[in-house]
C-alpha cells in the first residue's frame, strides 16, 4: 500500500510545481483593469447606491456577453435565485429538486420562496444533476395529476428543478430539459459558478425559464457582492426588476408599491466594479484554461488522481480546478487536505452534502450514491487566473 503522506506530499509538490510558487489561496480576485477609474467616476458623480448609469450598463453588458435577452443585476446570487423561483411559481409547500452536491445557497433560496428542497443525485462526468437517475426516480416517486407533478409520498407539488453547474462544468442540459418537460417542472439554472461556461455553444443560465449568476468575491468575476437574473422572457424580466426594487410603481414623487417587494437591487458602486471586471473576463478565462492544461499534464504523472476536465459538448470556465481521488485512496482525503494546507497550498473538500445538514435532514431525497462518492473524493485546488503569471 502506498503511504498516505507520500501521496499527500506528491499532490502538494505537483501543485507547487504547476503554479510556480509555494503558497496560494483557492481563488483570489484580480483588479488589473478599469476598477479604480470606474469606482472614482461613481464617487465623483455621487451616484453610489441604487441609481446610476453603471447598473444599466452592467446589465446590458451581461446580456450581450451571455446572449441572454435580459439580465437584471441584484445584490447577490442567493437573492437572484429567490426571485427566479418565486417568478416560476414556487409557492409555500412546493417541492423543488436540486442536487445535494451544491452550495447551501441553492437550498436556502428554495426555502426563502416557501419551497421544500428535494435532493437528487449527481453524475461523475459533469458533477451535476444526473438526468437519467432523476427520470427513473420520478417514474416511481411521482405522478402527473392535472398537469402537475405530485410527490406520491408527500402529496406535495414538485414545481421546479434547479440544476447547478458545479465549479463551472455545465450539467447535461438537453437531458434535464427533457425530464423537466415530461414532469412539468420549471427549470431554473443555478449558474452562479459558470459565468463564461457554454453548453452546445450557448451560455449556461440561458436554457431554463430563468438562470442566475453570482459575483461574490471568490467567483470568476466579482462585484464585491452581487448577482444577476437571466431570462429570455420579457415579462419575467420586468417582474424581476419590479420585485427586486421594492415593487414600486414608477412615479415622479409618489411611493406606491403594488405588492411585497424586495430591496435586492445592485448598488451602482458594485456595478461599476462589475463593468471593469467584465472587460477582463476573456483574459481570466484564458488564464484559467492554461492553468488547467498545466495541472492536467502534471497530474497525469500521479497515480490515483484525476483532474476534472470539461465534459463533451461543453466549454467550462474552470472556475475552481478540481481533482478527483480514486476510491482506493479516498481514506486519505483529510490527510491530503491537511498536508496541502500545512504547506501553504489552500485546498478544500467540496461542500457537505446538503441533505446531511441540520436544516435539511427531513427534506425528501432520492438515493444519493454518486453524490456521496463524489463528496468523499473531490478536492478543489488553487485556481486564480494570476497563478499562470509565475512561470517555473
Ligand X SMILES: *Cc1c(COP(=O)(O)O)cnc(C)c1O
Shortest Cβ contact with ligand X: which residue? 77
Residue 77 interacts with ligand X (CB under 6 A)? Answer: yes
Question: Closer CB to ligand X, residue 11 or residue 320?
Answer: 320
Closest separation between CB of residue 197 and ligand X, Å? 13
The candidate with the shortest Cα–Cα distance to 161, out of 115, 201, 194, is 115
Q: Which is nearer to ligand X, 214 or 231 (CB)?
A: 214
Task: Convert residues 119-158 into a mask of x (bound to ligand X by CB under 6 A) and - (unbound).
Answer: ----------------------------------------
Comparing CB distances to ligand X, the nearer of 104 and 302 is 104
The reply to whether 214 sits near ligand X by the rule CB under 6 A is yes
* Residue among 24, 98, 129, 164 that touches ligand X (CB under 6 A): 164
In angstroms, rounded to a whole number, what is the distance separating the alpha carbons of residues 189 and 212?
A: 6
Contacts of 388 (CB under 8 A, 6+ apart): 19, 287, 290, 291, 294
Q: Which set of grid coordinates corresponds to residue 24? A: 496560494
CB of 164 to ligand X, least distance (A): 5
Residue with cell string 501553504: 344
Neighbouring CB atoms inside 10 A of 108's CB total 17
- Of 52 and 211, which has the nearer Cβ to ligand X? 211
Q: Is 277 one of the binding residues for ligand X (CB under 6 A)? A: no
190 touching ligand X, by CB under 6 A: yes
Decide whether 58 or 103 has the Cβ nearer to ligand X: 103
**Which of 222/340 has CB closer to ligand X?**
222
Helices within the chain (DSSP H only) = 4-19, 35-45, 53-66, 77-87, 104-112, 131-141, 173-182, 234-244, 268-299, 333-342, 369-377
Residue 297: CB atoms within 10 Å: 11
Size of residue set near ligand X by CB under 6 A: 14
Cβ–Cβ under 8 Å, residues 332 and 325 = yes
List residues near ligand X by CB under 6 A. Answer: 76-78, 102-103, 105-106, 164, 190, 192-193, 214, 216, 227
Amino acid at each position: 500500500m502506498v503511504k498516505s503522506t507520500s501521496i499527500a506530499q506528491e499532490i502538494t509538490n505537483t501543485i507547487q510545481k504547476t503554479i510556480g510558487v509555494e503558497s496560494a489561496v483557492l481563488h483570489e480576485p484580480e483588479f488589473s483593469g478599469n476598477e479604480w477609474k470606474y469606482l472614482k467616476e461613481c464617487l465623483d458623480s455621487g451616484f453610489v447606491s441604487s441609481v446610476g448609469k453603471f447598473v444599466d450598463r452592467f446589465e446590458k453588458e451581461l446580456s450581450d456577453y451571455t446572449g441572454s435577452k435580459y439580465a437584471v443585476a441584484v445584490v447577490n446570487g442567493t437573492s437572484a435565485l429567490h426571485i427566479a423561483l418565486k417568478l416560476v411559481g414556487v409557492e409555500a409547500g412546493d417541492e423543488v429538486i436540486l442536487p445535494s452536491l451544491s452550495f447551501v445557497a441553492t437550498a436556502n433560496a428554495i426555502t426563502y420562496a416557501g419551497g421544500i428542497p428535494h435532493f437528487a443525485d449527481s453524475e461523475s462526468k459533469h458533477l451535476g444533476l444526473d438526468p437519467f437517475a432523476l427520470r427513473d426516480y420520478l417514474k416511481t416517486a411521482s405522478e402527473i395529476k392535472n398537469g402537475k407533478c405530485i410527490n406520491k409520498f408527500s402529496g406535495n407539488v414538485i414545481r421546479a428543478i434547479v440544476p447547478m453547474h458545479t465549479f463551472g462544468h455545465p450539467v447535461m442540459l438537453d437531458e434535464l430539459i427533457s425530464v423537466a418537460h415530461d414532469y412539468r417542472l420549471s427549470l431554473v439554472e443555478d449558474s452562479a459558478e459558470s459565468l463564461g461556461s457554454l453548453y452546445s455553444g450557448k451560455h449556461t443560465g440561458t436554457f431554463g425559464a430563468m438562470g442566475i449568476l453570482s459575483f461574490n468575491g471568490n467567483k470568476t468575476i466579482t462585484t464585491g457582492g452581487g448577482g444577476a437574473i437571466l431570462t429570455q422572457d420579457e415579462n419575467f424580466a420586468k417582474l424581476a426588476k419590479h420585485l427586486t426594487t421594492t415593487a414600486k410603481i414608477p412615479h415622479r414623487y409618489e411611493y406606491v408599491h403594488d405588492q411585497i417587494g424586495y430591496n435586492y437591487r445592485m448598488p451602482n458602486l458594485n456595478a461599476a466594479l462589475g463593468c471593469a471586471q467584465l472587460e477582463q473576463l476573456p483574459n481570466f478565462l484564458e488564464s484559467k484554461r492554461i492553468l488547467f492544461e498545466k495541472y492536467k499534464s502534471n497530474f497525469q504523472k500521479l497515480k490515483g488522481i484525476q483532474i476534472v476536465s470539461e465534459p463533451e459538448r461543453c466549454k467550462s470556465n474552470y472556475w475552481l480546478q478540481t481533482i478527483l481521488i480514486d476510491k482506493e485512496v479516498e481514506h486519505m482525503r483529510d490527510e491530503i487536505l491537511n498536508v496541502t494546507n500545512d504547506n501553504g497550498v489552500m485546498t478544500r473538500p467540496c461542500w457537505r452534502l446538503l441533505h446531511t445538514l441540520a436544516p435539511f435532514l427531513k427534506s425528501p431525497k432520492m438515493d444519493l450514491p454518486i453524490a456521496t462518492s463524489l463528496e468523499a473524493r473531490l478536492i478543489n485546488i488553487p485556481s486564480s487566473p494570476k497563478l499562470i503569471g509565475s512561470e517555473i
